[in-house]
Amino acid sequence: MDVSLARRLASEVLGVGESRIWIDPDKLDEVSAAISRSDVRRLIKDGVIRVLPPSTPSRGRVRERRLKRKKGRGRGPGSKKGPRVDEKRAWINRVRAQRRYLKFLKEKGQIDTKTFRYLYRLVKGGMFRSLSHLKLYISEHKLVRVEEGGERSKV
């Protein structure tokens, strides 16, 4: 039974796509006999032909992507939207902040020139991720002078 004509006419009458036309499988003979728009309208009125609800996009790909992102995939700078982070500017800001802090410590007399030069070279070499990392290194290695006049020890 070829119901393609009836399906096409029904889609035009109802104003939806052919894929959204549902035809009652028990009454295919009746539908295949319909050759005019008025025949199709009668079948629609009788409930033999109906409109299916619009299908929603599949969420399968979204779920798959979410699982991969959980693992850390697709989170690099190439996936970001908006203004990109300029790595050079970030480096300059980071190093300037660290050098400013070292200068502050030297001026306060909390570190001597030798320690200042040592830490300055480490900053230049990119050893510290951030200013807080530099502070952590200084405290862990006891490079700041103790207030009571006791000497600091350098590792």
Give me the pLDDT at residue 155, please: 42
**Where exactly are the structural domains of the chain?**
4-51, 87-140
Give the model's confidence band at 80: pLDDT under 50 very low, under 70 low, under 90 confident, else very high: confident
The residues, any chain, with a CB within 8 Å of residue 52's CB and separated by 6 or more, are 19, 20, 21, 22
The SS3 of residue 106 is helix
Structure tokens at 116: 């200042």
Residue-wise pLDDT for 4-51, tens only, equals: 999 999 999 999 999 999 999 999 999 999 999 999 999 999 999 999
8 Å CB contact between 93 and 63: no
CB atoms within 10 A of CB 139: 10
pTM across the whole model: 0.47
The CATH architecture annotation of domain 4-51 reads Orthogonal Bundle (1.10)
Largest CA distance in the chain: 107
Distance between CA atoms of residues 78 and 129, nearest Å: 22
Sign of the torsion angle spanned by Cα atoms 139, 142, 145, 150: positive
8 Å CB contact between 22 and 51: yes
Distance between CA atoms of residues 141 and 79, nearest Å: 39
Residue-wise pLDDT for 126-148, tens only, equals: 999 999 999 999 999 999 987 65
The CATH architecture annotation of domain 87-140 reads Orthogonal Bundle (1.10)
CB atoms within 10 A of CB 41: 16
Strand partners, 21: 51
